[in-house]
Amino acid sequence: MLRICLFPGTFDPVTLGHVDIIDRALPLFDKIIVGIGLNAAKEPMFSAEQRKEWISEIYKDKPEVEGAIYEGLTIDFCKKINARFILRGIRYVSDFEYEKTIADANRTMDRSIETIFLTGEPKYTSVASTIVRDIIRNGGDASPFLPEAVFKTLKK
Protein backbone atom coordinates (compact mmCIF):
# COMPACT_ATOMS: atom_id res chain seq x y z
CA MET A 1 0.00 0.00 0.00
CA LEU A 2 1.36 3.39 -1.02
CA ARG A 3 2.11 5.90 1.73
CA ILE A 4 0.13 8.86 0.39
CA CYS A 5 0.32 12.11 2.30
CA LEU A 6 -1.75 15.26 1.97
CA PHE A 7 -0.04 18.57 2.74
CA PRO A 8 -3.03 20.92 3.00
CA GLY A 9 -2.92 24.69 3.06
CA THR A 10 -3.68 27.83 1.10
CA PHE A 11 -0.12 28.28 -0.27
CA ASP A 12 -0.95 31.89 -1.14
CA PRO A 13 1.82 32.14 -2.32
CA VAL A 14 4.04 29.05 -2.09
CA THR A 15 7.03 30.04 0.06
CA LEU A 16 10.46 28.60 0.79
CA GLY A 17 9.03 27.48 4.14
CA HIS A 18 6.48 25.30 2.32
CA VAL A 19 9.17 23.91 0.02
CA ASP A 20 11.37 23.11 3.02
CA ILE A 21 8.61 21.02 4.63
CA ILE A 22 7.78 19.20 1.37
CA ASP A 23 11.44 18.46 0.58
CA ARG A 24 12.14 17.06 4.03
CA ALA A 25 8.95 14.95 3.93
CA LEU A 26 9.81 13.35 0.58
CA PRO A 27 11.80 10.43 2.08
CA LEU A 28 8.88 9.63 4.41
CA PHE A 29 6.15 9.10 1.81
CA ASP A 30 5.64 7.53 -1.61
CA LYS A 31 3.48 10.44 -2.74
CA ILE A 32 2.82 13.92 -1.39
CA ILE A 33 -0.24 15.75 -2.62
CA VAL A 34 -0.07 19.47 -1.94
CA GLY A 35 -3.72 20.24 -1.35
CA ILE A 36 -4.69 23.80 -2.10
CA GLY A 37 -7.73 24.27 0.05
CA LEU A 38 -10.45 26.67 -0.98
CA ASN A 39 -11.50 28.54 2.14
CA ALA A 40 -14.58 30.75 1.90
CA ALA A 41 -13.33 32.78 4.87
CA LYS A 42 -10.12 33.78 3.07
CA GLU A 43 -9.74 36.02 0.04
CA PRO A 44 -6.62 34.77 -1.75
CA MET A 45 -4.19 37.02 -3.59
CA PHE A 46 -3.48 34.34 -6.21
CA SER A 47 -5.86 31.96 -7.95
CA ALA A 48 -5.92 28.33 -6.88
CA GLU A 49 -4.89 27.41 -10.43
CA GLN A 50 -1.83 29.70 -10.20
CA ARG A 51 -0.83 28.14 -6.87
CA LYS A 52 -1.22 24.64 -8.31
CA GLU A 53 0.89 25.69 -11.33
CA TRP A 54 3.66 26.82 -8.99
CA ILE A 55 3.69 23.42 -7.27
CA SER A 56 3.88 21.72 -10.68
CA GLU A 57 6.75 23.96 -11.77
CA ILE A 58 8.73 23.64 -8.52
CA TYR A 59 8.36 19.85 -8.52
CA LYS A 60 8.42 19.17 -12.27
CA ASP A 61 11.26 16.67 -11.73
CA LYS A 62 9.60 15.00 -8.74
CA PRO A 63 6.59 12.96 -9.89
CA GLU A 64 5.97 11.96 -6.28
CA VAL A 65 4.77 15.53 -5.57
CA GLU A 66 1.62 16.88 -7.15
CA GLY A 67 -0.75 19.74 -6.55
CA ALA A 68 -4.51 19.43 -6.17
CA ILE A 69 -7.32 21.87 -5.44
CA TYR A 70 -10.03 20.85 -2.99
CA GLU A 71 -12.98 22.22 -1.09
CA GLY A 72 -14.55 21.00 2.13
CA LEU A 73 -13.13 19.01 5.00
CA THR A 74 -9.49 17.98 4.69
CA ILE A 75 -10.31 14.58 6.16
CA ASP A 76 -12.86 13.97 3.37
CA PHE A 77 -10.29 14.91 0.72
CA CYS A 78 -7.83 12.48 2.33
CA LYS A 79 -10.36 9.69 1.87
CA LYS A 80 -10.96 10.71 -1.75
CA ILE A 81 -7.24 10.52 -2.62
CA ASN A 82 -6.48 7.54 -0.33
CA ALA A 83 -4.11 9.56 1.85
CA ARG A 84 -3.44 7.99 5.24
CA PHE A 85 -1.29 10.90 6.41
CA ILE A 86 -1.70 14.66 6.77
CA LEU A 87 1.50 16.71 6.83
CA ARG A 88 1.69 19.97 8.76
CA GLY A 89 4.59 22.34 9.19
CA ILE A 90 5.26 23.89 12.59
CA ARG A 91 7.20 27.12 13.07
CA TYR A 92 6.32 28.07 16.64
CA VAL A 93 4.74 26.52 19.73
CA SER A 94 1.56 28.47 18.95
CA ASP A 95 1.40 26.70 15.55
CA PHE A 96 1.57 23.36 17.35
CA GLU A 97 -1.27 24.22 19.71
CA TYR A 98 -3.52 25.23 16.81
CA GLU A 99 -2.51 22.28 14.60
CA LYS A 100 -2.92 19.75 17.42
CA THR A 101 -6.53 20.86 17.90
CA ILE A 102 -7.22 20.22 14.21
CA ALA A 103 -5.34 16.90 14.29
CA ASP A 104 -7.41 15.79 17.29
CA ALA A 105 -10.65 16.66 15.48
CA ASN A 106 -9.49 14.83 12.36
CA ARG A 107 -8.55 11.77 14.42
CA THR A 108 -12.01 11.79 15.99
CA MET A 109 -13.57 11.79 12.51
CA ASP A 110 -11.25 9.11 11.10
CA ARG A 111 -8.75 7.19 13.23
CA SER A 112 -7.06 5.68 10.15
CA ILE A 113 -5.58 9.03 9.08
CA GLU A 114 -2.56 10.24 11.05
CA THR A 115 -1.22 13.79 11.22
CA ILE A 116 2.55 14.19 10.97
CA PHE A 117 4.22 17.41 12.16
CA LEU A 118 7.55 18.62 10.82
CA THR A 119 9.24 21.63 12.32
CA GLY A 120 10.51 24.19 9.86
CA GLU A 121 14.17 25.02 9.48
CA PRO A 122 15.00 27.98 11.74
CA LYS A 123 15.90 30.14 8.73
CA TYR A 124 12.30 29.83 7.50
CA THR A 125 10.43 30.50 10.74
CA SER A 126 9.75 34.10 9.74
CA VAL A 127 8.47 33.07 6.32
CA ALA A 128 4.68 33.29 6.43
CA SER A 129 2.44 33.71 3.39
CA THR A 130 0.64 36.57 5.16
CA ILE A 131 3.88 38.53 5.52
CA VAL A 132 4.97 37.71 1.98
CA ARG A 133 1.61 38.92 0.59
CA ASP A 134 2.03 42.17 2.51
CA ILE A 135 5.52 42.66 1.06
CA ILE A 136 4.21 42.00 -2.47
CA ARG A 137 1.16 44.25 -1.99
CA ASN A 138 3.41 47.10 -0.90
CA GLY A 139 5.96 46.72 -3.70
CA GLY A 140 8.72 45.23 -1.56
CA ASP A 141 11.22 42.57 -2.57
CA ALA A 142 9.76 39.20 -1.57
CA SER A 143 12.44 37.18 -3.40
CA PRO A 144 14.24 36.03 -0.20
CA PHE A 145 11.07 34.19 0.83
CA LEU A 146 9.99 32.64 -2.48
CA PRO A 147 11.02 29.75 -4.73
CA GLU A 148 12.37 30.91 -8.11
CA ALA A 149 9.26 29.65 -9.96
CA VAL A 150 7.01 31.89 -7.85
CA PHE A 151 9.30 34.92 -8.01
CA LYS A 152 9.58 34.66 -11.82
CA THR A 153 5.79 34.80 -12.12
CA LEU A 154 5.60 37.87 -9.88
CA LYS A 155 8.25 39.73 -11.89
CA LYS A 156 6.07 39.56 -15.03
Q: Which residues are catalytic?
A: 18, 42, 91, 129
Decide if 85 contacts 113 (C-beta within 8 A): yes
> What is the signed CA dihedral for 14, 80, 118, 126, rounded to 10 degrees?
20
Largest CA-CA distance found in the chain, in angstroms, rounded: 47
Contacts of 29 (CB under 8 A, 6+ apart): 3, 4, 5, 64, 85, 87
Pairwise CA distance, residues 82 & 98, whole Å: 25
Pairwise CA distance, residues 148 & 106, whole Å: 34
Pairwise CA distance, residues 156 & 46, whole Å: 14
